[in-house]
Amino acid sequence: MSETRMLREREGLIFERSSAGRVGYQLPPLEVPQVDPASTVPAGLLRGEIDGLPEVSEVDVMRHFTRLSKWNYSLDEGMYPLGSCTMKYNPRINEEVVRLAGLAQLHPLQPADQVQGALALMWQLEQALIAVTGMARVTLQPAAGAHGELTGMLMIRKALAARGEHRGKVLIPDSAHGTNPASAVFAGFETVEVASTPQGTLDLAAVARHLGGGDVAALMVTVPNTLGVFEPEIVKAAAMLHEKGAFLYMDGANLNAFVGIALPGKMGADALHINLHKTFSTPHGGGGPGAGPVAVSQALVPHLPVPMVEREGDRYTLAYDRPGTIGKVRGFYGNFGMLVRALAYIRSLGRDGLKSMAEGAVLNANYLRTRLEGDYHLPYDGPSLHEVVFDDSIQAAAGVRNIDIAKRLLDYGFHPPTMSFPLIVHGALMIEPTESEGIDELDAFVAAMKAIAREAREEPDLVRGAPYSTPVRRLDEVRAARQPVLRWRRPDD
Amino acid sequence: MHRYQAGQGDRRAMLDAVGCASVDELFVSIPAEVRCGALDLPPARSEEEVRREFWAYAGANAAPECFASFLGAGVYRHVTPAVADALLQRGEFFTAYTPYQPEVSQGTLQAIFEFQTYVCQLTELDVANASLYDGATAVVEAVLMAARTLPKRRRVVVAGTLHPDWRAVLETYCEPMGIAITQAGWGGDGRVDAGALERLLGDDVCAVVVASPNFLGVVEDLPALGKAIAAAGALGVHAVAEATSLGMLAPGGRFGFDVVCGELQAFGIPAAFGGPLLGFFAARQSHLRQMPGRLVGETADSAGRRGYVLTLSTREQHIRRAKATSNICTNHGLMALAATIVLSLLGKKGVREVALASHAKAEYVKAGLRAQGAGSRAKLAFPESPTYNEFLLLHDDPDGLLARLKAEGILGGVSTIRFGAAWPKGILVAATEQNTREECDRLLDALQRLA
């Protein structure tokens, strides 16, 4: 790390590297007459060179971003146990096939007869996701999980409207990811938080009480929930909702826990988004792009967004003629590049590999749970599936909080677990190892966590001052928010 | 075991540690009634088999690289430097998560800070976010921000020349939020009439969305429109579908628009059948607290060194939940990195040169069409209107014409037929610096013979 720290001292912003007259590109010869824009466009609508854009060479750019890359921790280097985020290995064959010119360069507005391969690929992915979920159909359009939630909730709203009903409320357990309530609101609903049971699971009695009012449109629930525990009452909950004319929205962020084992379709889900960038290994890219296809039950099929890929014999079309549709939710048809990678992953794993993926993810999480129980407190002790949630209550006695444990883990060469939720756990450490890790990597993580637990008892200040070995130490987040500096400006500006 | 997973030895040792005889015991919490048998999917495949399947998909498409392509209408083919993809394929970037742990994410964070700076420079606005999904959803976020900022105003006026797909997406999102949409028509010059727009404004209008260059390729009179919008107290939103135009055309930020947003795909993102693309969003400083999406800010570490963090996150769903300014979580970070790299390579001179070359290529084709004269069945729709690199060519059978052009190795543009009867029948033709003179000449020759 000392070497990269030195590079860090030398590597400023790209704008600070600028040196007059350097260029990092060459265009082909113009070949046609130059045109003075002022001869075609009113002068008042034009601009000249943009002040502040850098002048750098290709070498400068290569070095700059290569150096930046070295200040990142990444999955390629080691375990990345962010709970709920499912940071699993990103196979390189997927990166290879997505770059085939016939896929990467394809324009979305080419006529259907020119894009049969792309449409066939999308149709195949939809069939695969139907197989994995047991649902009726799947829209591939949403760009991310939250976008999928919104799409699903818009379909539920439309289905109610088609029945001549307006129901304003959506029930959401207090253990839910923050996107659930946000998405419900942007679909025009009011959210009602449902407190979890003492076991951290869905409170069926509370759901029943709310359903009595007749104004509940849906329940949004994550299965397994954010504690990594399967919701034991999910089938009953679905039946209760359906009996009252309400819908079950299932957040599929944790679908990887039971692929090949169980089907959301059998659980009674009406809509389920699938984070392809979690369960199906498309890379997270430092914050996207993701893809959040939504699988739906028969009841919501008429309301799927347009277009849908349809097959007629051996021909595929983009179908827009769907009278009950919610309309379009984005430009074009989906994050196609992510769809390509996900289908490649599904093909590589096959039916047995997908099941073994879920088994490996669950076994790895349970192994960590067994090895770390005692050193860290387990606030809810239901059976873990793909992730396990500890808290910092043992360490808090010595003044060491989850964030301190997280920062100290960086010194041991691991990315920390998720800490920001579930909100029902104070000081959460949500650990999701995924099936990618072997026992040696898990043991190294356990050793680091145990060492930190010991340090928290014996040298709490050491943990509270971490990290020590990273390119920067703890950053002043309060200052960043109080005096926002959100862009570079020339020092004399 | 599968090559992406650990081995049987790992499994045995871990099962012993957790005290289970088999992995099935770990799933006892899942009831029988929801269980499934073997999935209806093929068995695991080797890399070579996967490759073959995807070669077949790719081979069944007509890759634009094999044609002279003049396709645009929202997705454009521009310079794609090899450096950009080489850097994008570094696992340090693409296998990292959203930078929640800034001490080990400075690479991603600094790149986003640079991206935000580029967007501010291109738009002449104060603050920009870390990306959105695409141009269509960026316009949605702008309108929703306006409705939050002016909560008593429940109407948005949208230029009739906005990309019809973007308009359709806006309708989907506005309906549940109780925001009505009014369309401002366009005139015989392919532009929104500022006077007509003014008559649609009122104290119930929270936002006005204007696209320039617009869907028809025409450059709108942003100064006049901006003035009218500001006078009505609404937020002006300048939507940009072809971002390289910002190398030649002044952005809405200069003319009083509150938001400039849209699609940055043109700076180095492959068409990829329409996704992932790259939504961008810039606004005036006064809108900072209502901005959607992630923001990266500069700060210092405990040793006083400069560093970057995600900031102002109290706007976001993971903190504010139902009261968040947007539901967005995962955005299009890697696409933002791609654009940041390409903008760095192009720099001050290149951003302008790409724009001027694209403009010149389109003007060359337009001049050729004018020279073909009144006898041609394909006519420029707005011969007197200013355009950037795209224009509408009127034709009574655009789909048939495009098929004839394709037979000669030319993807001549995008037919307006697919966007409905509201649009004049014709072909949207886009030229960029990537089109050679020979391609332009072939297009002109083919149009003369085949139109």
Domains and CATH numbers, chain A: 2-70 (no CATH), 94-348 (3.40.640.10), 353-479 (3.90.1150.10)
pLDDT band at A387 (very low <50, low <70, confident <90, very high): very high
Within 8 A by CB and 6+ apart from A42, the residues are B221, B386
**Has residue B293 been placed in a domain?**
yes
Number of residue pairs across A and B with CB atoms under 8 Å?
708
Within 8 A by CB and 6+ apart from B423, the residues are B164, B416
Long-range contacts of B392-395 (CB under 8 A, 24+ apart): B392/B190, B392/B216, B392/B217, B392/B416, B392/B424, B392/B426, B392/B427, B392/B428, B392/B429, B393/B369, B393/B426, B393/B427, B393/B428, B393/B429, B393/B447, B394/B424, B394/B425, B394/B426, B395/B425, B395/B426, B395/B427, B395/B451
- Continuous segment of H or E residues that includes residue B59: helix B47-59
Tell me the two tokens of residue B340: 């940041």
Q: What is the mean pLDDT of residues A114-127?
A: 98
Residues B279 and B358 in one domain: no
Min CA distance, A490 vs chain B (Å)?
11
| Interface subset of A 210-269, CB within 8 angstroms of B | 229-230, 232, 234-235, 258-263, 266-267
pLDDT over 90 at A493, yes or no: no
A contacts of B108 (beta carbons < 8 Å) = 68, 72, 286-287
ipTM: 0.97
Min CA distance, A244 vs chain B (Å)?
22
Residues B165 and B299 in one domain: yes
Query: The CATH number of the domain where B425 resides is what?
Result: 3.90.1150.10
Between chains, do B57 and A102 touch, taking CB under 8 Å as contact?
yes
Counting residues of chain A whose pLDDT is more than 70, the rounded percentage is: 98
A contacts of B50 (beta carbons < 8 Å) = 93, 97, 344, 347-348
- Asked if the C-beta of A445 comes within 8 angstroms of chain B's C-beta atoms, the answer is no
Residues B297 and B372 in one domain: no
Min CA distance, A79 vs chain B (Å)?
11
Residues B242 and B365 in one domain: no
**Has residue B366 been placed in a domain?**
yes
pLDDT band at B328 (very low <50, low <70, confident <90, very high): confident
Residues B336 and B444 in one domain: no
Q: B198: exposed, middle or buried (C-beta count within 10 Å: 0-12, 13-18, 19+)?
A: middle
Q: pLDDT tens for residues B235-268? A: 999 999 999 999 999 999 999 999 999 999 999 9
- Asked if the C-beta of A43 comes within 8 angstroms of chain B's C-beta atoms, the answer is no
A contacts of B403 (beta carbons < 8 Å) = 111
Nearest to B59 among A102, A179, A230 (CB): A102
- Continuous segment of H or E residues that includes residue B307: strand B306-310
Quick one: which of A171, A177, A193 has its CA closest to A238?
Answer: A171
pLDDT band at A196 (very low <50, low <70, confident <90, very high): very high
C-beta separation of A326 from A155 below 8 A: yes
pTM: 0.97
Out of B313, B340, B367, a domain closes at: B340
Residues B318 and B184 in one domain: yes
- Could you give the number of structural domains in chain B? 2
Q: What is the mean pLDDT of residues A136-140?
A: 98
Between chains, do B347 and A70 touch, taking CB under 8 Å as contact?
no
Q: What CA–CA distances, in Å, run from B155 to A150, A154, B202? A: 22, 20, 9
Min CA distance, A397 vs chain B (Å)?
24
The DSSP bridge pattern shows strands B379-380 and B155-159 to be: unpaired
Residues B386 and B269 in one domain: no
Mean pLDDT of chain B, nearest integer: 96
| Domain containing residue B424 | 64-79+348-450
pLDDT over 80 at A10, yes or no: no
**Planar angle of CA A306, B66, B397, nearest 5 degrees:** 55
- How confident is the model at residue A421, as a pLDDT? 83
Name the DSSP letter for residue B220.
P
pLDDT band at A6 (very low <50, low <70, confident <90, very high): low
Distance, in Å, from the CA atom of A239 to the CA atom of B410, rounded to the nearest integer, reads 57
CB neighbours (10 Å) of residue B399? 14
Between chains, do B307 and A337 touch, taking CB under 8 Å as contact?
no
Helical pair B164-177 and A179-186, crossing angle rounded to 10 deg: 100
Q: pLDDT tens for residues A75-101? A: 999 999 999 999 999 999 999 999 999
**Has residue B208 been placed in a domain?**
yes
| Residue from B27, B34, B53, B410 whose CB has the most chain A CBs within 10 Å, to mutate | B34
Between chains, do A284 and B97 touch, taking CB under 8 Å as contact?
yes
Between chains, do A407 and B173 touch, taking CB under 8 Å as contact?
no
Out of B317, B340, B363, a domain closes at: B340
Nearest to B96 among A73, A177, A438 (CB): A73
In three-state secondary structure terms, A391 is strand
Among all residues of chain A, which has the CA nearest to that of B275?
A335
Out of B340, B359, B377, a domain closes at: B340
pLDDT band at A2 (very low <50, low <70, confident <90, very high): low
